[in-house]
Amino acid sequence: MPDVKRRPCRVALAGFGTVGQSVARLLQQTPEDVDLVAVLNRRVAGKRVDWLDGRVRWTESIDDLLAADVDVFVELIGGRDPAETWMTMALARGISVVTANKQVIAHEGPSLRALAAARGCQLRFEGSVAGGVPVIRAIESGLASDTLTQVAGILNGTCNYILTRMEADGAGFDTALKEAQGLGFAEADPSQDIDGGDARAKLAILALVAFGIQAPAEAIAARSIACVTPLDFQYANRLHCTIRQVARATSAGTPGTLTAAVGPSLVPLTSPLARVQGSENLVTVKGQFGGETSFGGRGAGGDPTAVAVVSDILAIARGARPPSTAPFRRVEHVSAAFATPYYVRFTVSDRPGIIAALAAVFAAHGINIDAILQEPGFPADRRPFVVSLDAAPSEVLETALAEIGALDFHVVPPFAMPVLL
């Protein structure tokens, strides 16, 4: 169809932090008819900058912002509240919304998209997962014809920075975390990153677009990377692996169910996941027809995220149709029952019979021991060793580990990681 002449697309921006400022700068550079007309921020007097067009309205009030005859509301304040309320207000008025807010989209993406569809406007959220990497669009459009069965990825740049630092230099977790904080890669309270809360919200969004399954992010099992030690990298290396925080989900198995988990995992050195360095992100998608496709790049930071946000704005400005508003299946329960090989590190006060005791429990649960690895040179009262196990259902492993954990020789609780072959 021939291009329809449009009035300029009028954009209002809430949140003028790192990403918001990059969005404003990128909008100024775009040759298309997209005008930033209003900016909302707390304490707006201190935020005002001289490099923005003098006609931009600065405000602290959402009503004021949305009243500026706006076509697209860009939400970059983060967090659930008031972001979700503001998005709802905008959509209810028929104003399209672009956001990078993973928490709101993970929880309310489908209902907000339904509202957008009902009001004849759009909700887009490319920036909510993997920063500047256009993976949402790739799944919703580029792989639209395939049936996707698995998504996996490195979705948290902070964890990946810490783990690749530990991998490269043998640095301890605390050292690597402090360094990440010093460089601005990790927040003062890093628990959302370290413990997997950030990655599982992103994984919930990927499950939404890849499988059409909406699951509460909190229902996705997440394990912390804080227990990973430099010694684990040594043992992983002996198994031709390294360690990454991996988020993975599959829709295979019982229809309408989701299996998903986030946590530190052994990945083979030859895997694309092993090659992701520093704060990069990588998402791999498996389809029945297309096989495995991967998307990598800068997963955070103002400029890359701004590319995602402004590309969403341009899609709306160019009159692109809204992405699918197909109904989502809502599930409350998310299984974590992947059947994979496992790596388990024990740290024990050594005495004869420990291996026999462990082996007996694993055998009783039908779990096969693949190898026992023990580096020399540790004191007998705090001796680490590693058992690698053949593939076993995760719930069976957990039962076995609970039994083993109750034995009296542990100095540190057993630490298990799946091996993603």
Residues noted as catalytic? 202
The one-letter amino acid at 27: L
- Cis status of the peptide bond prior to 2, with omega within 30 of 0: no
Regarding 146 and contact with a copy of itself (CB under 8 A), the answer is yes
| Closest separation in Å from C-beta 117 to a copy of itself | 7
> What 3-state DSSP class applies to 75?
strand
Q: CA torsion sign, 303 to 307 to 310 to 312?
A: negative
Using the rule CB under 8 A, which residue among 252, 320, 360, 411 binds a copy of itself?
320
DSSP state of 387: E
Q: Please list the alpha-helical segments (H only) found in 4-57.
A: 18-29, 44-47
Regarding 118 and contact with a copy of itself (CB under 8 A), the answer is yes
Residue 281: phi, psi to the nearest 5?
A: -120, 155
Binders in 267-306 for a copy of itself, by CB under 8 A: 270, 272, 275, 287, 289-298, 303-304, 306
Tokens of 4: 């329809």
Q: Which is nearer to a copy of itself, 74 or 344 (CB)?
A: 74
| Closest separation in Å from C-beta 179 to a copy of itself | 21
| Closest separation in Å from C-beta 342 to a copy of itself | 26
Using the rule CB under 8 A, which residue among 137, 202, 223, 244 binds a copy of itself?
137
Q: Which is nearer to a copy of itself, 212 or 216 (CB)?
A: 212
CA distance 276 to 262: 17
Using the rule CB under 8 A, which residue among 143, 152, 154, 420 binds a copy of itself?
143
- Residues 14, 46: contact at Cβ < 8 Å? no
CA distance 284 to 287: 10
Helix 157-169 vs helix 173-182: crossing angle, to nearest 10: 130
CA distance 115 to 133: 26
Q: Which is nearer to a copy of itself, 288 or 352 (CB)?
A: 288
Contact segment (CB under 8 A) with a copy of itself among 6-14, 78-86, 186-194, 313-321 equals 313-321
The one-letter amino acid at 108: E
> What 3-state DSSP class applies to 57?
strand
Q: What is the number of residues in the chain?
A: 421
- Residues 176, 166: contact at Cβ < 8 Å? yes
Regarding 150 and contact with a copy of itself (CB under 8 A), the answer is no
Q: Which is nearer to a copy of itself, 5 or 321 (CB)?
A: 321
**Binding-residue total with a copy of itself (CB under 8 A):** 55
> What 3-state DSSP class applies to 110?
helix
Regarding 44 and contact with a copy of itself (CB under 8 A), the answer is no
Contact segment (CB under 8 A) with a copy of itself among 200-208, 314-322, 338-346, 394-402 equals 314-322
Regarding 1 and contact with a copy of itself (CB under 8 A), the answer is yes
Count how many Cα atoms sit within 13 Å of the Cα of residue 359 in the half-sphere of its side chain: 8
Using the rule CB under 8 A, which residue among 17, 120, 170, 366 binds a copy of itself?
120
* DSSP codes, 390-409: EEEEHHHHHHHHHHHHTSTT
Q: Which is nearer to a copy of itself, 166 or 315 (CB)?
A: 315
Q: Which is nearer to a copy of itself, 27 or 367 (CB)?
A: 27
Which chain residues interact with a copy of itself by CB under 8 A? 1-3, 22, 26, 29-30, 117-118, 120-121, 126, 132-134, 137-138, 141-147, 270, 272, 275, 287, 289-298, 303-304, 306-308, 310-311, 313-315, 318-322, 324-325
